[in-house]
């Protein structure tokens, strides 16, 4: 029973967050923040891929 209520609450929070992001996206500030978020995600992913690539090379060389 408790987990069901918790899931409902999480779903409500996610929906509100998505709605807020959607409203902000109409403004220039929202577009800039979304673009920076995407860039940050790409940069982080590239960093982790590079690190894991080095890690794989180390394993492969040994």
pLDDT computed for residue 35 by the predictor: 80
The pTM score is 0.38
Would you give per-residue pLDDT tens digits along the chain (62 residues)? 577 788 888 788 888 877 776 766 667 666 777 788 888 888 888 887 777 777 667 677 76
Residue linked to tokens 């890690």: 55
Q: Where are the domains of the chain?
A: 2-61
- Nearest by Cα to 17 from 1, 37, 44: 37
């Amino acid at each position: 029973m408790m987990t069901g209520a918790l899931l409902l609450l999480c779903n409500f929070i996610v929906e509100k967050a998505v709605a807020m992001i959607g409203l902000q996206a109409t403004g220039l500030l929202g577009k800039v923040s979304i673009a920076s978020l995407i860039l940050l995600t790409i940069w982080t992913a590239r960093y982790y891929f590079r690190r894991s690539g080095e890690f794989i090379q180390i394993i492969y060389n040994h």
